[in-house]
Every structure is written in structure tokens, then in C-alpha cells.
Amino acid sequence: MASLQHELPSPSDGGPSAQASQGLFETLQLVADTIVESLGFEVAVVNLVDTEGSPSMVVAAVAGPAEVRNALLGRRQGLDGWRKLLAASEPWGKLHFLDHATSPSDPADIFTWIPDLAISDSPDAWHPEDALFATLQTGSGRHLGMLSVDVPRDGLRPGPATRHALEAFAVTASLAIEHATMAQESERAARRFTAVFDSSPVAVAILGPDGLFERVNRAYCLFLQRDEAELIGRSPLDFTHPEDVALAEPASARARGLTAAPEASDTAPVEKRYVLRNGDVVWGRLHLAPLYGPHDARVVVAQIEDITERKRTEAQLVQQANFDALTSLPNRRQAMGHLQRVLDRGALGGHLTAVFFCDLDRLKLVNDGHGHAVGDAYIREVSSRIRSAVRAGDLVGRLSGDEFVAVIEGLAAPTEAIGLAGRVIEQVRQPLSLGGAVFLPSVSLGIAYSTGHTFTADELVAQADSAMYRAKQEDRGAWQVYDATLRGSAAAQLELRRDVSGALEAGQFVLHYQPIVRLHDEEITGYEALLRWQHPRRGLLLPGEFLDVILDSEYEAPVTDWLIQQACRDATARPAGSQRVSINVSSLMMGRRDLPDVITAALQASGLPPDELVLELTEDRLLSRADGPDLLAALRGLGVALAMDDFGTGYAGLANLQRFPSISILKLDQSFTASLGRDAYSTPIVTAVRDLARSCGLHLIIEGVETVEQADQLRSLGIEAAQGYYFGRPRPLAEDR
């Protein structure tokens, strides 16, 4: 019975299939026993098809003498032999009778037992090799087995009544086998479902008609990081992110509807978030499908695909597409799109909107002097300051490396934007410590307004950009409101920005030199090198017309390097007189880490002695830096001289003489010279500065001398050196030859 028990588990297994098998064996044995008892046969045998083994049948039930049972029960019989018997048999209704005279020659695999009967010559007598059997099959015709009888007690072939009764028993046996087979297949399907359910890598749960968990697999528990006991009997909404409950409730309602509506089908997947025990959030793609459970109860299978990584990737792509990687602010695309939407809303409601165009002053010099890591940190901090200075609902975006835009929506009045602009400038200019250096950042800011009636986002930003250029021209770290008069100057500035990229390479920059003289005999003791731009269309441009464009571009360092090299070459090429040359170098360029190397190389290449080169500080920013004294000391260590330009104004005051002992030259601002003899204070101030310089061992140069009267008065005050138009205007080196 081994193969039979493989097909139908033995009763000892104890499961539903074992119980079905036990019932089947008992039923088939009962059928065989009843046939023997009621129809007058000595032997009845039931064979079952082995659907999982070899193509054969197994004797499952035998009624008859013990020796017959022992000979037949559990024996395997080939299907081919039975097919030969069927082909050779004579149909008796639904039965098949095989006369010994037409029996196949070698049915040994079938007739393993032949009864010991007397042979009669009567045509109605039962011959020992006769066979009567019925095919057992389902209603659809699937072969289940065979029912056979042998040895009629009266020794005669059975009559119609007996045959009809035997047909009925065959139907009973067929129904019993079919029922047991269906039960077995159902149990097998259940086992397979359980195996697939439990081992599936996909998170799967079964929800009851009430929408609560009835069963969850291991993958589902792992997805939610919960034990099975924590889930059973609870709703999926209990583990849904609070912000997604509204999204999940329709799905939950659909789940309940699937259990209630027989015609309900699968639902569209829903993507939502789930909260884990530790508070972390994961994303799942929920799919619901109806399923019939035991006793026709409608349940729902819920499958969740873990899409957390996909969502993270999508978020990263959205971040990359819409936000600046360095500052995390909206990028140009996002900021301009937001502004256009704001303007579209304003066109309907007449709301006042302002745009700030913010440009960081001298960003490239921070990068060149301190490295891009410090420069990036500088940008992040300044962008954070801009963001914190405006209102919570205002958008701040980064347009490019040093350009930012702020969209100020729903203003009550233009003055409100001006107040915010002042706050931006003030917060940005607070001291900033990075990489061991202290910076005083500044931002130039342009303001443009729109009530939403005429301007596009591009137009409004262009207007704010024009206003920013005006603010940068007039005073860095300031704001300016756009008006129509700025359009022409802004266009000119943009044109210069385009032209400056090729000016250096094309040799368009030139140096003019203004003499510095000893007053008592007007002997030239040196020259100040002044930068000019020989523009191919606009002619010779003075620094006031283009210097801001250079200072806020990537060309400031190359132009400064060229200026140092050219001034040193010109000084040594001067045919007669002093070789001493003074160069105006911006304070940020003074802070360049490679500036000492540039100066050393220029001195060596030209042969100019270091003490013949003077570096003039033209701005106040270096004086406010904590590392300013160290920077100047490093330059002074090269042997060059350092001058404080525009002394007496702004930061160039008395306190800095003590902080910067490396400075050896003071250049008094020309505003004091211009008022000599015209107010009561100029002469005492010049006298006081003269005495201060002498006391401190500093060389004093008075700037802006334009008349003989001014020169004579300075001589009478004991001033030793001066420069100005009276002694000579700036001119090219060639004109000195």
C-alpha cells in the first residue's frame, strides 16, 4: 500500500487528508463487503489509480477469503494490462465482461489470483478465467480506478438485476474516491498555499470581513518590524503614517467592500507610509485582492511591496532637479517657477510682490585665497543668513554660484520690502569665522516690484539684477530699488562683463603712471601704477567705469597678477629716475595664499629690488579681519613696503596704526588737500597727521595736490612727499621716454 499511501496519507498522519483517506478506505471496503454479502459473489476488489506514482493501479479494498485478501491487497497492477482487458471485453451496460475465450494471452499482472473452480460446459456457467468489472470515473470522465467481482456463488454468470446493482455500487465507489481526491487536493492546495504564504519574500496578510488582520506572513512582520501577535486582530490603519491615514482609509473601506461584495475585484494599488516600532518610516505599495476563505467567507489578501528605496531615490531626484546641492535652497528652475506662479496669483488678486536679487561680493577671492572648501562653507552660511532674514513664507533660491533670489509675496507696502532688504544686508555682514580666518561678508541687493499686471518672472528678476548692479557700483553691501533709468546702465554693465573675459588675453589692459614727488625740490621719488582698459569700442576706460565688473568676476586674480608683473617690468625698464612703483591691491587679494609667490616671481623675473615695490591697501576690509596683521606681516617679510591708502577716512584710522605695524607709509586722503585754506580744520589735521607720522616713523604722502597754492602750503607745513595733477597726470610709460 506504499504508493496508495503516497497518494492518500495513512490515518496515522492525523491531518484532514489522513482522515479523508481513512474514510475512503473504509467506504471502499464497505462497498466490496456489501457486494460480496448482497450480490452473491465470493470476491470483490477495488483498484485505485496512482496519480503521483508510475502509471499503475493499486488494490485498495478486497472482500473475500483471507487467502484472496493476502494475495491481492496492496498489489500494484499496470494500467496497460487493464487497457488490454477493456479492449478485449464485452460491454454489459456500464460493466465490462471478459470471456475466458477472448481474454488476452498474458494478463499475469492482472490475474495474479485465479479461483479454483470446476469448469462447466454450460454457456451460462462462470469460468475461472472469466472477469466482470466496472470502470470507476468522475462525472467528467477522469479515470479513478476499477471495481471487479469474481466467483459467483451460484456458479453462473450474473443476470441483469445483479449487473444493475453492481453498476450502482460502482457509482458509489466512484463518488467516494472523487470526494476523497477532492479533499486531498484541497488539503494539498492549502499546504501549498501555506508554504508559499509563509516563505514568500513579499509581505502578505489576510484581512477578515471586518478589515482586521487574520493572518500575516514573516515578510509582513519584517516589513513592519512587528511580531505576529502585535498584528493579528488589529487594523492596518494602526500602523499607517498619520499623514497617510486619509489616503489609507479608502483602501481599508475597499477591503471591507471586497469582503462584502461578491462581484468585487482587485483594487488599484495605493502607495503610503507605515510607522515602525522605533518611529522610522517606510514606504509600501499596497495591493488588495478578494479571496474566498473557509465556509465561503470572503476575505482579502493584502500584499505590500517595499518601495522605501524607490521613494528615497525619487526624493533625491526631485531634490536634485529642484534644489541646490550645496545650500539645499530651491535652484533656478524651482525659484523661477515659484516666482511665476506668485505673479500669476498676483495678477488675479492685485497683490504686491517684490524680488530681491542678491549678489555676494568678492566670492571668488574667498575661493582663491582660502580654497573651495572654505568657499562652500561661506556660501552655505551666507545663504542661511539670507533665508533667516526674510519672512518664513518667503522663498529664497540660489540662481548661480554667487547669486540668490528672494521672492517676497503679499506685501502691504513697498517699504516693507525695503525693511527686509536692510535686514538681509545687516545679517549677512556679521563677522564669519571659517578655516581659521575671519570674514566680513557682504551682499549687494537689488529690489524690483510687481503688482502682477505686466511682468514675467524673467523680466522682474532682470530688473532686480539691474538694481543690484547699481547698488554694487555705488556702495557694496547696499540695496537699490529698480527704476527705468537703470535699464541702460545695467545693459552696459552686462556688456562689460562679457567683454572682460577676453580683455586680458587681448592685451587691452594697460598701466598709466602718476608721479610721487619730494616736495622741496619736486624730484620724482616713485610712481603709482593705475589700471586702464583700452576698450576696442568705448575707448580708454578709467577704473570707475569697469573696476567693479572685474572685482566681482573670476578675472580679478589674473588681472592683479598681470598688474604686479607688468608694473615690476615697467619699473625696471624706466630709462632714468626712481624705479619705485606703488600698486593698488584690493584687501581680498592681499589675503590670497599665493600672493607672496606671485610677488616673488614678479620681482625675480623683472630684477626689481623688493624695497622698490609698494603695495597700497585700497579698502577697509582687510583692516577688519582678525588675521589681517599676519597677512601683512607675511607680505612685509618679502621686503616690499606697505602703504595705508585714503588715511583719515573710514577704517583707515588711528587705531589701525597700532594693529598693523607692518605698514610703513601713510597716504592722506585727497579730501583734506582739497579743503586746504578753505576751512579751519584742514591745516590742523594735516599738521597733526604729519606729527603722528614722524612720531611713529612712518613716511607720509599727501594725495590730491592740484594747485601751486596747495603745494606751497604743504611745503610750509613741512610735508615731504605728495602726488596729484599739479605734479603730473597718469600717463603711459612710453611718454616718459
SS3 category, 348: helix
Question: In this predicted model, which residue has the larger pLDDT, 696 or 103?
Answer: 696
Cα angle 715-717-719, degrees, rounded to a multiple of 5: 60
pLDDT tens digits for range 147-197: 999 989 988 999 999 989 899 988 988 888 888 878 777 777 778 878 888
Where residue 529 falls among pLDDT bands split at 50, 70, 90? very high
Q: What pLDDT does residue 388 have?
A: 95
244 and 250 in contact (C-beta within 8 Å)? no
Cβ-based neighbour number of residue 192 at 10 Å: 10
Instruction: Match 506572513 to its residue by C-alpha cell.
Output: 217
Mean pLDDT check: name the lowest of 122-131, 246-255, 292-301, 589-598.
Answer: 246-255
Chain centroid to Cα 131, Å, comes to 81
Cβ-based neighbour number of residue 124 at 10 Å: 10
Q: What pLDDT does residue 531 have?
A: 93
Mean pLDDT of the chain: 83
Q: What pLDDT does residue 331 have?
A: 93
pLDDT tens digits for range 534-586: 998 888 888 877 887 787 677 888 899 999 999 999 999 987 778 899 999 87
Cα angle 384-389-390, degrees, rounded to a multiple of 5: 110
Strand partners, 75: none
DSSP readout, 297-319? -EEEEEEEEE-HHHHHHHHHHHH
Q: What pLDDT does residue 472 have?
A: 82
Q: What pLDDT does residue 694 have?
A: 92
Cα angle 115-165-183, degrees, rounded to a multiple of 5: 95
Query: Residue 73 class from Cβ within 10 Å (0-12 exposed, 13-18 middle, 19+ buried)?
Result: middle
Tell me which H or E stretch contains 686: helix 682-696
Q: What pLDDT does residue 485 have?
A: 62
Radius of gyration in angstroms for the set of CA atoms belonging to the chain, rounded to a whole number: 52
pLDDT tens digits for range 366-407: 887 788 899 999 999 999 999 999 999 999 999 988 999 999
Q: What pLDDT does residue 6 have?
A: 34
Distance set, CA 701 to CA 541, 650, 687 (Å): 27, 18, 13
DSSP readout, 514-530? EEEEETTTTEEEEEEEE
Q: What pLDDT does residue 398 have?
A: 95
Cα angle 302-271-321, degrees, rounded to a multiple of 5: 155
Q: What pLDDT does residue 251 have?
A: 55
Q: Is the pLDDT score of 445 beyond 70? A: yes
Ordered by where they begin, the domains of the chain are 2-190 (3.30.450.40), 200-312 (3.30.450.20), 323-483 (3.30.70.270), 501-736 (3.20.20.450)
SS3 category, 373: helix
Query: Residue 153 class from Cβ within 10 Å (0-12 exposed, 13-18 middle, 19+ buried)?
Result: exposed
What is the torsion angle, in degrees rounded to the nearest 10, for the CA atoms of residue 477, residue 482, residue 484 and residue 489? 20
What pairing do the DSSP bridges indicate for beta strands 665-668 and 699-702? parallel
Strand partners, 304: 203, 286
